[in-house]
Amino acid sequence: MSPAPGSAITIVDGEITVDAELLAPKLGLSAAALQAEMRSGSIDSVAEAGIDEDAGRTRVTFRYGTRAWTAMVEPDGTVVELAVPMWMPRQRSPTAGKHGQ
């Protein structure tokens, strides 16, 4: 976990805003490309509100292709980047679909 700039993510009246200059390189994009990909719907995002001992926290995750970035926004507005497990798309073996081998 590593801290991100405090103003990188803001939550006002339930609306979440993320600084494109912070998020874009996490997804391998420029800020302009990030905005274009968001408009086209190519970037998935999820916001999760904490419950019980995590009440007041919000976890946000963005996914683009094989990349993902997750951060936790603490109740005081502090933003902490979370390590996300690395994943790659499943690759087919050269013999996939061939019978008798």
User: Mapping DSSP to helix (H, G, I), strand (E, B) and coil, where does residue 24 land?
Assistant: helix
Kindly state the helix (H) or strand (E) to which residue 60 belongs, with its residue range: strand 58-64
Least confident of 12-21, 51-60, 89-98: 89-98
Q: What is the pLDDT of residues 20-79, one digit of tens each?
A: 999 999 999 999 999 999 999 999 999 999 999 999 999 999 999 989 999 999 988 888
State the pTM of this model. 0.74
Cα 92 from Cα 98, distance rounded (Å): 12
What residue ranges do the domains of the chain occupy?
Answer: 2-82
Q: What is the pLDDT of residue 101?
A: 46
Cα 55 from Cα 71, distance rounded (Å): 15
Tokens (6 digits) for 84: 């996300």
What average pLDDT does range 6-28 have in this prediction? Answer: 88
